[in-house]
Structure 1
Amino acid sequence: MPHRNGPDAQARTSSTSFRTSSRMWPWLARPRPVSIGSSVNTPNDLQEEKYEEPARAHGTVHSGVGWCKPEVVPAAADLQRAAAVLNAGKKVALLVGAGALDATDEVIAIADRLGAGAAKALLGKTVLPDDLPWVTGAIGLLGTEPSWKMMNECDTLLMIGSGFPYAEFLPKEGHARGVQVDLAPDMLGLRYPMEVNLVGDSALTLRALLPLLEQKIEVTWRDDIAGWNRAWWKLLEERAMQPATPVNPQRVAWELSPRLPADAIITSDSGSCANWYARDLRMKRGMMASLSGGLASMGAAVPYAIAAKFAHPKRPVIALVGDGAMQMNNMAELITVAKYWQQWDDPRWICCVFNNGDLNEVTWEQRVIEGDPKFDASQQIPDVPYHRFAEMIGLRGIYCDNPDELGAAWERSLASDRPVVLEVKTDPEVPPLPPHITFKNAANFAKALVKGDPSEGGAIVGAVKQVLAAIMPEHKGR
């Protein structure tokens, strides 16, 4: 912003900033926030000066009294074109994102009408509950095998409120017809060549679209998806229960999932813990969850969890954090929790630390994507007693290095009368496998080992265990 002097100029600057912000409203269906402390600099002495409304004159800038969100629905002709594409589909797949968070009922109604399955982008994890047999869960590198299969076998794609960027996990171009719904016009057709692009609010647009859709009678497509899901959840359980040194990180999330309170709010940091958050936690209707899904910034989980608790002080909040992100800033943010937690109606606030002594996500990316061995100088991090730090500042600390005690550790944490840091000593050599392993992935992993990976033995054992779980006889024909 240009520099302006005087109280009247400062008022114009602030008003202009908020007006500029409001132009971006389609992104989140609300104006983007402006930080008065940084984007608009207001000197202390200027704040104390007397302000008078400017006189009526040419070029005078006045401030508004507020902003009203419009109701945006596509034109009737565009809805008819979208319905024609969707009605023609025999194997319809939905992909929902954060733009559909307020459209759960509408998404379910559309999916039921079309006999469709639905995958969820990472920021859309709570759009649909995971107890619906046609919901395939996450998609992408952190996604599920059913989502991968559904996208490869569908003949029609309906994308709702998502800018999911990994096109290699969407249908191949030409294999599926496409319809997209998004409030932000610049997101339409960005990831896949859609036949019909609808600018509109997700809930309102789906409500207008529903009467135009024909009820699908054939159930084979949904039966296939349900079968994939059953096999996938069984595989996840087997992977989570595999022995590790000392604790399998997947089991941390697996043991939490059935114990999640119905009104829980979950946050996750970036790193390998985000894989287990994305895959192993089954969302129930009414839960909330988020992470840094746009930038994948480390250090977001605890600040997000603090914000969630202030916004919803009666709801339990759980943050999943890797030890790398914990050391960056999350550990210091626990001091904020210690300062304010007694003001909360419900004291249940848990920070679960995956302590594996490694910047684990990047370690595995180096191995599998680049074919480079683990570089200890950049990847190893100090071993810190996080649970003891929690106790030192007045919170409760719980430590677990025995997989058979994980369930009890979660129950103690959820029953605590004060916020908890649950520190789990996890195995860094359990790989966060993608839903579909390519020949290139396997070749790069082998190349990393040949180059002399310092954790060669553990990495081989961990990877082989996880891969074999998917190809043992009981999983053939899934």
Structure 2
Amino acid sequence: MMPEMSGGELVVEYAIREQVPYVIGLSGHSLLPFLEAVYQRQDRITHMMVRHEHVATCLADGYYRASGRPLLVYLHLGPGLANGLNGIATAALDSSAMVIVTGNTWQRHYGRNASQETSRFFDAEQASLLRPLVKRSWAVQRIESLPEILHKAFKTAVSGRPGPVHIDLSLTIQAERADLEVPDPSLHRVPGRQRGDAEQILRAAELLAGARRPVIVCGSGAKMSGASPEVLALAEHLAAPVGCAHRGKGVIPEDHPLALGLVGAEARLYANKLVAEADVVLAVGMRFTEPDTSSWQPGAPFQIPPSRLIHIDIDPDELARYYPTEVSIWADAKAAVGEMLAAVKARRPAAVAFRQDPRIQELDRARAAWLRSIEEAQGSDAQPIRPERLMKELREAIPREAAVFVDTGKVKNWAYQQFPAYGPDTFYIGIGWTAMGHAPAAALGVKLARPDQPVVAFVGDGSFQMVPWTLSTAVDYDIPVTTVVFNDMAYGAVRDIQKAEYEEHYISVDVAMEKTGARFNPDFAQLAELYGARGFRVEKPAELGPVLREAMGCGRPSVVDVLIDREVRFPVAKQRAFRHLPRY
């Protein structure tokens, strides 16, 4: 038996055995015994205190995406949990893992209106807040059950389709002591990759080998499983263009001749057209979400049928969910595509010379024509700065191997379409929940996971104003991430819809003084300096390149506040369904 331990000590000891590198959160009275246990083991696990719980959960999400390892996040009873919900929800919808521990009141105080206790329906209830957002939630009633709950929690978080899990720990359980064995994590894991059904792999290979216009579309499942080499090898063998769902951007380098880039609502038009004309579509680790399908509109990009669909996913609930599916393969993406490649080569040994393939040559011409169409905007010296010019300067200044984490809003649309990604570990976005202000904190997690990789966050001014205190954590722990603020003094994504579809009836979108109508934002560069970071403000296009390079090279957290033209509307490939709703 181990020496007698408290519940809090048991949680920390198990996290150490799981080789969790960081425990992160913000204190509260409901966590005091747990925090004492963390204090005593700082020789084995690094503690990080944030200034707002949103940073803790978003950072943990970014860390998992970049490393495949879950962090331990602690959240205070009630408001602390509520503050962390956006990061948890983003991780849930984007299949990213973390283990969340919430504090709770003493068990003897349940139902007695203890401080910050919610008990109008269930006593000391917190799990209901998280029910749609976690894979599993445990409320620990007895300390003897804690060892089993801990190994279940860590296994559940990373098994199958990853996601957050939750353990609710009362002060009673945190403080109580018992003689308990700390589980060995290696005895409670599911090693290896889930293989696809052999018959379905062969059926898929036959379809692909016989296809005349095959297309591959990859989501985050392809990136997370490390399937990029197999996807590229299969694509080159078949001369199959490779598009990406919104979470799959960068699955193959976007300067490869077979790269289509994004498909769906924010795609380049030629990419959607090519997918719509495919006779066979291989979907790898994607879920056919609303942005991927332009609200499931036929031909934007998917035309299924007549296209015949092969779908690979680690989550069986996602297979054959929206479209008729010729072959469904419940498997790890890397394993399934690798086996499929071998089966295709057995049936069709000779690879197609894709550079000479007429369809790929037509793709090359379409790509070149599209790039020519934005050349003038990319070179514009107009002030405020055109977004196309900013995207061009960002791509030239940011190293090819660097990682960017993109926030929601108009910034994500520009980045999807006009910021090429060159590898699976170079482009991240929170797109399922699309919480504003996610990227600045998530980028810190990427940097902690990959300290030698340059990391940049793209965020709009509206999003940045929701989370400026993220800079405190970056400065406190010397995490040198550069945040680029796309400052158009508006909530531009919604404003564009009002401009195009609602006769410019702007409401709740313009950042302005009520009495005068004058546009106003804080000076984000000065704000960064007040937090202890470097701050830069860019108003002239010629300043972009030098300032971006200085910010990224300064070795400190930095903010680059770029004033851009809010009247430039993003070129949408296909109208989304919400634009056709009745206006009432």
Name the TM-score class by shorter chain. Answer: 0.7 to 0.9
Residue 79 (str. 1) matches residue 201 (str. 2):
yes
Mean alpha-carbon deviation: is it higher for 63-72 or for 126-135? 63-72
Match of 1:240 in 2: 378
Match of 1:90 in 2: 212
Match of 1:465 in 2: none
Residue 216 (str. 1) matches residue 348 (str. 2):
no
Mapped partners of 1:374, 1:73: distance in 2? 53
Mapped partners of 2:139, 2:494: distance in 1? 42
The verdict on how the C-alpha distance between 1:69 and 1:429 changes in structure 2, with shifts beyond 3 A counting, is farther
The verdict on how the C-alpha distance between 1:193 and 1:336 changes in structure 2, with shifts beyond 3 A counting, is same
Q: Could you report, residue by residue, the CA deviation over 1:172-210 in whole angstroms, capped at 9, with x for unpaired residues?
A: 232311111111111112243221111111111111111
The verdict on how the C-alpha distance between 1:376 and 1:242 changes in structure 2, with shifts beyond 3 A counting, is farther
The verdict on how the C-alpha distance between 1:212 and 1:390 changes in structure 2, with shifts beyond 3 A counting, is same
Mapped partners of 2:557, 2:365: distance in 1? 40
Using the TM superposition, give the Cα deviation of residue 139 of structure 1 relative to its aligned residue in structure 2, in angstroms.
Answer: 1.4
Asked whether the 8 Å contact 2:304–2:323 carries over to 1, the reply is yes
Match of 1:129 in 2: 253
The verdict on how the C-alpha distance between 1:410 and 1:374 changes in structure 2, with shifts beyond 3 A counting, is farther
Match of 2:144 in 1: 8
Q: State the one-letter code of the partner of 1:181.
A: I
Mapped partners of 1:131, 1:3: distance in 2? 50
Mapped partners of 2:446, 2:184: distance in 1? 35
Q: How is 1:277-426 mapped onto 2 (pairs within 5 angstroms)?
A: 277-285=415-423, 287-329=425-467, 331-341=468-478, 347=480, 349-368=481-500, 370-371=501-502, 373-380=504-511, 382-426=520-564
Mean alpha-carbon deviation: is it higher for 163-172 or for 300-309? 163-172
Mapped partners of 1:265, 1:114: distance in 2? 30
Asked whether the 8 Å contact 1:96–1:127 carries over to 2, the reply is yes
Structure 1 stretches lacking a partner, 5+ long: 55-60, 449-478
RMSD of aligned residue pairs (Cα, Å): 2.9
Match of 1:195 in 2: 326
The verdict on how the C-alpha distance between 1:66 and 1:219 changes in structure 2, with shifts beyond 3 A counting, is same
Match 1:43 to one of 170, 175, 182 = 170
Using the TM superposition, give the Cα deviation of residue 146 of structure 1 relative to its aligned residue in structure 2, in angstroms.
Answer: 2.4
Mapped partners of 2:456, 2:443: distance in 1? 7
Mapped partners of 2:141, 2:212: distance in 1? 64
Residue 118 (str. 1) matches residue 249 (str. 2):
no
The TM-score normalised by the length of structure 2 is 0.67
The verdict on how the C-alpha distance between 1:333 and 1:81 changes in structure 2, with shifts beyond 3 A counting, is same
Match of 1:186 in 2: 317
Match of 1:52 in 2: 179
Structure 2 stretches lacking a partner, 5+ long: 1-136, 513-519
Residue 265 (str. 1) matches residue 382 (str. 2):
no
Mapped partners of 1:268, 1:139: distance in 2? 17
Q: Does the residue aligned with 2:281 lie in a helix, a strand or coil?
A: strand
Q: Could you report, residue by residue, the CA deviation over 1:237-272 in whole angstroms, capped at 9, with x for unpaired residues?
A: 333334644111222121111222133110111000
Identity %: 25
Asked whether the 8 Å contact 2:251–2:424 carries over to 1, the reply is no
Q: State the one-letter code of the partner of 1:151.
A: V
Using the TM superposition, give the Cα deviation of residue 428 of structure 1 relative to its aligned residue in structure 2, in angstroms.
Answer: 0.8
Mapped partners of 2:442, 2:159: distance in 1? 22
Mapped partners of 1:277, 1:103: distance in 2? 23
Q: State the one-letter code of the partner of 1:175.
A: P
Asked whether the 8 Å contact 2:458–2:485 carries over to 1, the reply is yes
Mapped partners of 2:539, 2:306: distance in 1? 48
Asked whether the 8 Å contact 2:492–2:509 carries over to 1, the reply is no
Using the TM superposition, give the Cα deviation of residue 295 of structure 1 relative to its aligned residue in structure 2, in angstroms.
Answer: 1.4
Mapped partners of 2:218, 2:138: distance in 1? 40
The verdict on how the C-alpha distance between 1:111 and 1:393 changes in structure 2, with shifts beyond 3 A counting, is same
Asked whether the 8 Å contact 1:262–1:286 carries over to 2, the reply is no
Q: Could you report, residue by residue, the CA deviation over 1:145-177 in whole angstroms, capped at 9, with x for unpaired residues?
A: 221121222221111111132232233232311
Mapped partners of 1:3, 1:110: distance in 2? 46
Residue 157 (str. 1) matches residue 281 (str. 2):
yes
Q: Does the residue aligned with 1:399 lie in a helix, a strand or coil?
A: strand
Match of 1:453 in 2: none
Q: Does the residue aligned with 1:229 lie in a helix, a strand or coil?
A: helix
Q: State the one-letter code of the partner of 1:189.
A: A
How many residues are treated as equivalent by the alignment?
Answer: 423
The verdict on how the C-alpha distance between 1:90 and 1:326 changes in structure 2, with shifts beyond 3 A counting, is same
Mapped partners of 2:201, 2:185: distance in 1? 38
Q: Does the residue aligned with 2:482 lie in a helix, a strand or coil?
A: strand
Q: State the one-letter code of the partner of 1:352.
A: V
Match of 1:143 in 2: 267
Mapped partners of 2:284, 2:254: distance in 1? 18
Q: Does the residue aligned with 1:124 lie in a helix, a strand or coil?
A: coil
The verdict on how the C-alpha distance between 1:267 and 1:124 changes in structure 2, with shifts beyond 3 A counting, is same
Mapped partners of 1:236, 1:67: distance in 2? 50
Q: Could you report, residue by residue, the CA deviation over 1:379-401 in whole angstroms, capped at 9, with x for unpaired residues?
A: 43641100001112221111111
The TM-score normalised by the length of structure 1 is 0.81
Q: Could you report, residue by residue, the CA deviation over 1:313-359 in whole angstroms, capped at 9, with x for unpaired residues?
A: 22211000101101111x11111111111xx5xx4x21000111101
